């Protein structure tokens, strides 16, 4: 029987080849060996990249050390009928089944109950970790709620009956980002102050102001786009972006700055609406009237306060009653803005050939306020009689033409009329190019207009158009800046967007480009079409109290008056809607304890208390009552917010945190710093005292959040400060495990030293430096065997050698050499005790035990497997670079090639993160990433590929995706023979172990030759199966000893006979099948890859199978030049969230 089985299994491939050649092609063994593609026809989906794995030509396999290698060539024929060997059979439909040697009948009957044979090697992992297909299915249907928010957990735990079907986000770039940004950017300043700014600053300086402000917002948008596309953007906008990027301190400071800015913006919009209402629509509605000639401004301010308060209360009630109405009318308000702007362009075009008639009355070169008289002349002819005009009466205080009480300036200068809107073809642009700043109370004068310069009476000043505030470049910057804010509107709606990562950058940048072009063109058109004194006339006194921009518009000034009124009302409502929600979000995060009350609201989540506080703060802005005074305040808060956005992007880019992988690629830390500098400059340009107050508020909030209950300790001098900072940082790290976003591999590299204390595999250090790129923690550990008291000097020398090698390989980190009696114990000590506090390693890098097959001593690979078990028990990740000497040095560059990831089992995302980190290094930067995953029989491979592509898109990782189908789970003769050889080899080695007497004799000989090396390598250990050797060995033979020796030898011969009758364990066959099939497809796809990353199967629970486990790993990685075996630490290390 032994001979038959020997022929059937040890030489099965040769036999099958001969018999198949005889022409019997229907034998199952031949069918198992022939590629299915030879007779099964083409794949069912030729258009798709999913490729089934079939049995290929197996002509080349690395030899198994110590035994003959197996040749598995394609046979041509089948054996003769009647041969009754155990073989692989088919059910006639191409579905292959196994017979008895591989599975016993009970297991074969279970069908799919046992682990899928294609992944049998990973069955321990699949017990506790999800299959790739099920993980992708869950992750693709992510939620837009923020991480860590209680509502998220509550939503997850609610009963199915209570769950409402949530509407999936469906807004695109146009409706979700572009139009809301346009609506928020265009506002009251464009209609009420831009013409006045052009008149005061001139066209050139106005261009500079617009350019500065637009550059600031554009650079901020680039930074914001990078932050917003760094993960799935939760609903919540800028506050969430900053707080999740820079932490709660910055988040709280920015959030409150943005909140205060939005609230004051609401006040500014309300003041703008009241100004339009009382100045241009219904001036009769004023409650307070000027008692004297000089009380006009104070009466106007009081009117603004009363009407502003009434408007604020009405708007707050509207927001309280129904936010949905605000959102519904948003498009109507936007339409008003667009129509108003179009009417400006239409009027400018019309003014070229038919300028509108708005005459201005000039006295000398001074501009007269037109609303107090009708005829622009000193005298009029009535019934052929020259009589005094209304103008004469005002200046001379008499109805007859006497000059006794006349104003001297009035008598000496002529009255003339000039065109208020000369038109674009008039050449007025050259007069409006330069600035004409005025002090408060100065009269608007037209340069180069004929006049006699004499002093007039002060009590007649109210008849002229006067400057109401002192103007300068700095003042105008502060007033104009609010007209470019509103860029956060898109990111605030991120929860409603279909693809926020794409829509936010595109929509916001397009909105800024559009609005910037509108502002630049408006500056140019106003300068080219409107007379300078009219431009400098803020309230349109010279043109019959018309809105200045309205005089240019076509078909009527009322288009802009009505349009701007509605748009400012709408913007005010939007501000009062958004600000309370922002405050509620900050309060719910509980980073500022005294704000907790504002986190509550109505049953439907409406922030009632936050709305009340917002209305009170807005009332403060309304009590200021001047648009020109409120605008710089909100400029400060928005500039502070934008400054922090730029800072967040710059810091993240420079720190290179592993989670910083924005999908938006067109950013740079220098751009962020430039944006930050412009923000800071604009703050101090527009109002240095407001800037200091805003920075003080932000600083106080920051410090309050940071130091709330925190204990501080300051050392003396720089070193004391450094120690204190280090201690503080370590204690902060101790508070808990790092968030998934902050996870990066903190390495413990286990190095092997040779007898001369030199590093045996320096490329391990090279690999560590390429993986870390100078960031994070790296500890290089090594074990020296011996007694600490005797080998302390050697340990110091080894440490110095390792440090020198670290310098050469540019590894920034720490070195730790441990002396231990047993190498395995030393490694366990390193894994347990390296690091300090929160600065502990989370990943172990372990070298492969080369030559373990050739060595008869099992201790080398037992130490390796023991280390694998130690890292698993400590919940650490494990990296095993195989063939590490072939890894590139730091001086090499790969200009092309692939890094291939074979994702078999989800292990927390290590396989995704490692190639990304390697690609940060110049060696691997130009390599492309490919991800392969294995689909099982019950997986939808097409859906799996879509899910994987979506998952990678959300991870912001660029890689080619391929799903490999392993539906062919028949076990080949090659697999069977390879398993058989593995088991025969291990049994043979066990039987060939020397007897105790021979071991002792050999040990004595070694001792006598003084050739015992004091330093053992890292992966050989003296602890296993070794007993202390006595000083002297007595070689005395007795009759009993002689009989026992004969029995031992006789049993050994019997055991060798048993070798050929061995039947392989079915579990080992399945595991070998996994290794063979996976290796076949990996070599097929990734034979030319620069690096292959692969899930490392866990060691068997039963230690008896350890040697087989090493064989499985060898088979799995055969034929691959550079392999990195990866084993996760049991926690998620990569996230789709920002």
Q: State yes or no: pLDDT of 159 exceeds 80.
A: no
> Three-state DSSP class for 26?
coil
pLDDT of 116 reads 57
- Mean pLDDT in residue range 754-770: 87
Rounded to whole angstroms, the Cα distance separating 849 from 864 reads 7
pLDDT of 720 reads 52
Can you read off the two tokens belonging to residue 934? 């294995």
Q: Quote the percentage of the chain above a pLDDT of 90.
A: 17
The string of pLDDT tens digits covering residues 800-857 is 999 998 888 888 889 999 999 888 899 999 999 888 877 888 899 998 888 777 766 6
Rounded to whole angstroms, the Cα distance separating 450 from 492 reads 56
pLDDT of 1057 reads 52
- Mean pLDDT in residue range 671-682: 94
pLDDT of 908 reads 79
pLDDT of 509 reads 93
At residue 553's C-alpha, the angle toward residues 544 and 567, to 5°, is: 95
Cross-strand bridge partners of residue 418: 360
Lowest-confidence range among 334-348, 457-471, 996-1010, 1079-1093? Answer: 996-1010
Q: State yes or no: pLDDT of 711 exceeds 50.
A: no
The string of pLDDT tens digits covering residues 538-593 is 888 888 888 889 888 888 888 999 988 988 888 888 888 888 888 888 888 777 87
> Three-state DSSP class for 497?
strand
Residue 439 burial class via C-beta count within 10 angstroms: exposed 0-12, middle 13-18, buried 19 and up = exposed
DSSP type of residue 1086? H
> Three-state DSSP class for 418?
strand
pLDDT of 385 reads 85
The string of pLDDT tens digits covering residues 482-514 is 999 888 877 777 767 787 778 888 999 999 999
Can you read off the two tokens belonging to residue 121? 């090697």
Would you place residue 107 in the very low, low, confident or very high pLDDT band (cuts 50, 70, 90)?
A: very low
- Report which of residues 1112 and 131 the model is more confident about: 1112
- Report which of residues 632 and 716 the model is more confident about: 632
Residue whose entry in the numeric block shows the structure tokens 């009769």: 284
The pTM is what?
A: 0.70
Q: State yes or no: pLDDT of 128 exceeds 80.
A: no
Q: Quote the percentage of the chain above a pLDDT of 70.
A: 74
Most confident of 198-207, 403-412, 648-657, 1080-1089: 198-207
Q: State yes or no: pLDDT of 997 exceeds 60.
A: no
Query: For residues 733-755, b (16+ Cβ closer than 10 Å) or e, as one string?
Result: beeeeeebbebbbbbbbbbbbee
Q: What are phi and psi of 836, to 5 degrees?
A: -145, 125
Query: For residues 1104-1120, b (16+ Cβ closer than 10 Å) or e, as one string?
Result: ebbbbbbbbbbbbbbbb
pLDDT of 1077 reads 83
Residue 815's nearest CA partner among 825, 802, 829, 797 is 802
Query: Between β-strands 1123-1127 and 877-882, what pairing exists: parallel, antiparallel or unpaired?
Result: antiparallel
Q: What are phi and psi of 530, to 5 degrees?
A: -110, 140
The string of pLDDT tens digits covering residues 24-71 is 444 444 434 444 334 344 443 334 444 444 444 433 333 333 333 334
Rounded to whole angstroms, the Cα distance separating 445 from 299 reads 26
The string of pLDDT tens digits covering residues 852-873 is 777 666 677 888 888 999 988 8
- Mean pLDDT in residue range 1107-1116: 84
Lowest-confidence range among 147-156, 469-478, 735-744, 874-883? Answer: 147-156
Residue whose entry in the numeric block shows the structure tokens 């307070």: 288
Rounded to whole angstroms, the Cα distance separating 37 from 594 reads 72
Can you read off the two tokens belonging to residue 47? 């258009």
Sheet of strand 778-785, all strands in order from the earlier edge strand to the far edge: 51-52, 960-965, 928-935, 898-903, 1091-1095, 1123-1127, 877-882, 843-846, 747-750, 778-785, 814-820
Average pLDDT score, the chain: 76
Q: At what angle do helices 194-228 and 473-480 cross, to 10 degrees?
A: 60
CB atoms within 10 A of CB 324: 8
Can you read off the two tokens belonging to residue 833? 């005790």
Cβ neighbors of 726 (< 8 A, separation 6 or more) are none
């Amino acid at each position: 029987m032994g001979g038959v089985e020997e022929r059937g299994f040890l030489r099965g491939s040769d036999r099958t080849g001969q018999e198949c050649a005889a022409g019997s092609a229907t034998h199952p063994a031949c069918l198992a060996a022939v590629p299915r593609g030879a007779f099964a026809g083409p794949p069912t989906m030729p258009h798709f990249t999913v490729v089934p794995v079939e049995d290929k030509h197996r002509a080349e396999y690395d030899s198994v050390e110590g035994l003959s290698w197996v040749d598995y060539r394609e046979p041509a024929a089948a054996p003769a009928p009647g041969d009754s060997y155990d073989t692989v059979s088919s059910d006639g439909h191409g579905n292959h089944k196994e017979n008895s040697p591989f599975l016993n009948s009970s297991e074969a009957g279970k069908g799919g109950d046992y682990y899928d044979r294609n992944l049998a090697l990973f069955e321990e992992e699949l017990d506790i970790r999800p299959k790739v297909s099920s993980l992708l299915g869950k992750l693709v249907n992510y939620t837009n709620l923020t991480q860590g928010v209680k509502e998220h957990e509550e939503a997850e735990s609610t009963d199915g009956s209570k769950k409402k079907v949530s509407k999936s986000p469906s807004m695109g770039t146009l409706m979700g980002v572009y139009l809301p940004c346009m609506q928020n950017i265009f506002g009251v300043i464009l209609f009420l102050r831009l013409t006045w700014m052009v008149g005061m600053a001139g066209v050139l300086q106005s261009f500079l102001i617009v350019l500065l402000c637009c550059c600031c917002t554009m650079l901020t948008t680039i930074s914001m786009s990078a932050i917003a596309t760094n993960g799935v953007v939760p609903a919540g906008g800028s506050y969430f972006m900053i707080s999740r990027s820079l932490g709660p301190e910055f988040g709280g400071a920015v959030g409150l700055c943005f909140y205060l800015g939005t609230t004051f913006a609401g006040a500014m919009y309300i003041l703008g609406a009241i100004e339009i209402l009382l100045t241009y629509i219904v001036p009769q509605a004023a409650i307070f009237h000027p008692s004297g000639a000089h009380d006009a401004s104070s009466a106007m301010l009081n009117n603004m306060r009363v009407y502003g308060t009434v408007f604020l209360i009405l708007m707050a009630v509207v927001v309280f009653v129904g936010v949905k109405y605000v959102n519904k009318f948003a498009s109507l308000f936007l339409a008003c803005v667009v129509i108003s702007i179009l009417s400006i362009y239409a009027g400018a075009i019309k003014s070229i050939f038919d300028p509108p008639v708005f005459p201005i009355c000039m006295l000398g070169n001074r501009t007269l306020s037109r609303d107090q008289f009708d005829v622009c002349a000193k005298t009029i002819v009535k019934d052929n009689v020259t009589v005094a005009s209304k103008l004469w009466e005002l200046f001379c205080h008499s109805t007859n033409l006497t000059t006794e009480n006349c104003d001297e300036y009035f008598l000496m200068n002529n009255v003339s009329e000039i065109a208020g809107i000369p038109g674009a073809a008039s050449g007025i642009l050259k007069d409006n190019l330069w600035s004409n700043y005025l002090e408060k109370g100065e009269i608007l004068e037209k340069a180069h207009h004929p006049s006699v310069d004499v002093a007039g009476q002060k009590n007649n000043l109210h008849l002229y158009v006067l400057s109401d505030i002192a103007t300068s470049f700095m003042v105008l910057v502060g007033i104009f800046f609010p007209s470019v804010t509103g860029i956060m509107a898109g990111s605030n709606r991120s929860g409603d967007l279909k693809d926020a990562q794409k829509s936010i950058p595109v929509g916001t940048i397009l909105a800024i480009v559009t609005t910037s072009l509108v502002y630049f063109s408006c500056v140019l058109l106003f300068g080219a079409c409107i007379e300078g004194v009219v431009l400098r006339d803020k309230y349109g006194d010279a043109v019959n109290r018309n809105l200045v921009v309205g005089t240019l518009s076509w078909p009527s000034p009322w288009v802009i008056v009505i349009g701007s009124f509605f748009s400012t009302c709408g913007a005010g409502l939007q501000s009062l809607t958004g600000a309370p929600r922002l405050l509620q979000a900050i309060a719910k995060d509980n980073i500022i304890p005294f704000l907790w009350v504002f986190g509550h609201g109505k049953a439907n989540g409406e922030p009632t208390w936050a709305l009340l506080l917002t209305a009170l703060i807005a009332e403060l802005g309304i009590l200021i009552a001047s648009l020109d005074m409120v605008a710089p305040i909100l400029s400060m808060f928005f500039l502070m917010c934008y400054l922090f956005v730029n800072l967040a992007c710059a810091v993240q880019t420079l720190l290179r945190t592993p989670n910083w992988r924005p999908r938006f690629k067109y950013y740079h830390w220098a751009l962020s710093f430039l944006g930050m500098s412009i923000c800071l400059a604009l703050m101090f340009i527009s109002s240095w005292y407001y800037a200091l107050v805003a920075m003080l508020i932000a600083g106080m909030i920051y410090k309050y959040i940071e130091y709330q209950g925190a204990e501080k300790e300051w050392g003396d001098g720089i070193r004391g400060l450094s120690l204190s900072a280090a201690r503080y940082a370590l204690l902060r790290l101790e508070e808990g495990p790092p968030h998934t976003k902050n996870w990066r591999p903190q390495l413990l590299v286990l190095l092997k030293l040779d007898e001369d204390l030199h590093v045996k595999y320096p490329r391990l250090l090279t690999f560590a430096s390429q993986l870390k790129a100078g960031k994070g923690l790296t500890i290089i550990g090594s074990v020296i065997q011996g007694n600490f008291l005797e080998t302390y000097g050697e340990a110091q020398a080894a440490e110095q050698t390792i440090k020198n090698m670290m310098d050469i390989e540019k590894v920034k980190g720490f070195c730790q050499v441990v002396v231990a009696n047993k190498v395995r114990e030393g490694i366990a000590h390193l894994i347990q005790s390296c690091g300090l506090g929160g600065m502990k390693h989370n990943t172990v890098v372990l070298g492969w035990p080369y030559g373990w097959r050739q060595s008869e001593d099992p201790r080398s690979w037992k130490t390796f497997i023991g280390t694998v078990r130690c890292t698993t028990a400590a919940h650490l990740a494990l990296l095993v670079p195989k063939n590490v000497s072939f890894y590139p040095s730091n001086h090499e560059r790969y200009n092309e090639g692939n890094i291939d990831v074979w994702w078999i089992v989800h292990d927390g995302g290590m396989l995704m993160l490692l190639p990304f980190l390697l690609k940060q290094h110049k060696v691997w930067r130009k390599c492309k990433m490919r991800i392969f995953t294995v689909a099982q029989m019950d997986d939808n491979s097409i859906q799996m590929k879509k899910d994987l592509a979506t998952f990678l898109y959300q991870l912001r990782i660029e890689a080619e995706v391929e799903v490999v189908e392993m539906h062919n789970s028949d076990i080949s003769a090659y697999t069977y023979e390879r398993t058989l050889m593995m088991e025969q080899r291990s049994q043979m080695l066990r039987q060939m172990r020397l007897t105790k007497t021979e071991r002792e004799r050999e040990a004595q000989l070694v001792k006598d030759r003084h050739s015992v090396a004091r330093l053992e390598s890292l992966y050989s250990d003296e602890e296993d199966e070794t007993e202390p050797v006595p000083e002297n060995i007595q070689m005395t033979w007795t009759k009993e000893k002689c009989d026992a020796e004969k029995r031992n030898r006789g049993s050994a011969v019997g055991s060798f006979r048993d070798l050929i009758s061995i039947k392989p364990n079915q579990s080992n066959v399945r595991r070998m099948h996994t290794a063979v099939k996976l290796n076949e497809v990996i070599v097929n796809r990734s034979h030319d890859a620069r690096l292959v990353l692969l899930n490392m199967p866990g060691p068997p629970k039963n230690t008896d199978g350890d040697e087989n486990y090493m064989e499985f790993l060898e088979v799995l990685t055969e034929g691959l030049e550079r392999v990195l075996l990866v084993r996760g630490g049991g926690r998620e290390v990569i996230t789709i969230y920002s």
